[in-house]
Homo-oligomer: A and B are copies of this chain.
Amino acid sequence: MAENRVHQHDHDDQTELLPCVEDLYGGVSVNMEKPMDSTVFAPLLQASISQWREKGKKGIWIKLPIEHANLVDVAVKQGFRYHHAEPDYLMLVFWIPETTDTLPANASHRVGIGAFVMNSQREVLVVQENSGKFKGTNVWKFPTGVVDEGEDICTAAIREVKEETGIETEFVEVLAFRQSHKSFFSKSDLFFVCMLRPHSFDIQKQDREIEAAKWMPIKDYAAQPFIRGHDNFNYIAKICIAKSEVEGYASFSPLSTKTTSGKTSYLYFNGDLKNQLSCDNQKQKMPM
């Protein structure tokens, strides 16, 4: 097959094209898995674009593994722009039609969690961090962290608490979330305040990120000048206190569901309704 293509190339330059697959949106995707000299790539790409244009193709995607960084400049010079990058590859895209592109947007948000973990003595699990903006401030804060790529929010909250403090927990609810912008580069941030129920109580702090960790009366946590002096921290403390005191503070529980493409996802919604719907489902599934 490869020989055949080389053969065609000898006789007719226009028939040699980059290998590609068509997508459902009238576009094509090129995955450059093998190395190629940029002087070979340039005419091949040019011929391919001509052919795609003739065929009425719209969005052209080229995924370049980082080993083939030598081809980036060639693609850019032929009209491609960057779409997104991960550590090991760069995705470029070229919209052929004259119309406005309908290409999917790049990922725009990083997702973080804060963990509200309270024991039966109304003490919350708090840490002091040894780097970042809280370093040296003596502020006691909830364990927080970034949700890993592909990780569920409820899983990330349990993982972060375990990593930072050694405490085993069970996920209960999302009490609140905050959206903020330009939190790193031009990207936005979604931060979920998660309530977890502790299943162990002896703290074993992680040394790399955590200076100190302890159980602290929730009133003392909320009374810290830093917490009181900062809008978001202050509200979140009030929400947690309300949740711990007031029956009526309804929040969102996760329910494992399937997406239309059959993948598992979590739907977070009012916990009372979740229990009711789960009950209904159980009844439907019970043998007659």
Contacts and interface: CB of A to CB of B under 8 A. Distances in A.
The secondary-structure label for the interface of chain A is mixed
Interface stretch (A197-205, A213-221, A246-254): A246-254
A5 interface: no
A268 B176 contact: yes
A66 B84 contact: no
A283 interface: no
List the number of copies, as a whole number.
Answer: 2
A255 interface: yes
A87 B91 contact: no
Interface string A102-127: 10111111110000000000000000
Contacts of A242: 270, 273
Interface string A124-151: 0000000111000000000000111110
A232 B248 contact: no
Interface stretch (A47-55, A67-75, A163-171): A67-75
A88 to B, nearest CB: 7
